[in-house]
Amino acid sequence: MRARAAGTGWVGAIVAVVAAFVVAGLVAQALLPAPQGPALSSYATAPGGVAAWAELLAREGHRVSQLREPITSAALAPDDTLVVLEAGGPQDDTSEAPRLAAPFSRRLERFVLSGGWLIVSGVSQTISQTVGRGRIETLGDPSFLENRLLGDGGNALRALELVGPAGRNVVFDEAIHGFGPATGLAALPARWWLAIALLGAAGGASVLSRWLRLGGSDPLAAAAPSPRVAFVTTMAATLARTRDRSELAELARRARERERAFERSV
């Protein structure tokens, strides 16, 4: 029975150790993810992504979010700055205002006229202009926003000034990079996954502490026998060694006398 319990304990310990390594890997992946993601995406930590720009904006007081649904059905506020990078190829800049990508041009036009700011790439040169109550920044070369170049020269300051006053909401269009609406487990925020990983590590440590013990348990101290039990045991041993009944009678008489003397003294 003890051998079976010990075997079960070692199996539990091995499972706990493996689970701890898996959880440690998840935590490391959450804290130190490998560079990845499509170019000019605010999710991308690769050299061509703009995740560093998004983080910089958040640190400077902007509320940063990602749009993963079509712009035509998005709820954009007049005080938002919408970033649409790589929206089509270079266009003809001889017109008075650069054209926007056809599938959502009307939606973007209403957004800008109501006061929204739009940052869009895909033209041959950079143009800044006021349209209605809003503003359009068209970038011929958005590479200064990329992770690999953001820290060079005055690129970081230029990137901050591009989105408008501090506190303005910045929305990155990620549907254009292939990101659809998050569903299921993918909809959980990254900080939730970190909390789940930490809870898993705590659970694994608890299981491990229950199965792995430092040595056996301490033996319990032997309980001292009560005086009555000691007396009875001694008398039984004496009787077992005595064969003469007269001697037994004499021993019993002496015991009664001692008991009576004790009662009189009390």
CA 210 from chain center: how many Å?
25
Q: Specify the range with the lowest mean pLDDT, choosing from 9-18, 117-126, 191-200, 252-261.
A: 9-18
* Chain-centre distance for alpha carbon 17: 20
pLDDT for the residue 63:
95
Query: 200 φ, ψ to 5°?
Result: -65, -40
Residue 191 confidence (pLDDT) above 60: no
More confident site: 117 or 30: 117
Q: What digits encode the pLDDT tens for the residues 107-143? A: 888 999 999 999 998 766 778 899 999 999 999 899 9
Residues with Cβ within 8 Å of 221's Cβ and at least 6 positions away in sequence, in order, are none
CB 159 within 8 A of CB 146: no
Closest to 114 in 3D by CA, of 158, 80, 64: 80
First to last CA, the chain: 55
More confident of the two residues 10 and 113? 113
Per DSSP, 204 falls in state H
Tell me the CB-side half-sphere exposure of residue 182, using CA atoms within 13 A.
9
Q: Return mean pLDDT, the chain.
A: 75
Reported as a pLDDT band with limits 50, 70 and 90, residue 158 is very high
Residue 123 CA to residue 251 CA, distance in Å, equals: 122
pLDDT tens string 140-152: 899 999 999 999 9
pLDDT > 50? residue 94: no
User: Residue 59 has what pLDDT?
Assistant: 95
Alpha-carbon gap, residue 124 to 112, rounded angstroms: 21
- Tell me the residue type at 60: E
User: Residue 165 to residues 50, 57, 80, 111, 154: CA-CA distances in angstroms?
Assistant: 20, 11, 11, 18, 18
The whole model's pTM is what? 0.57
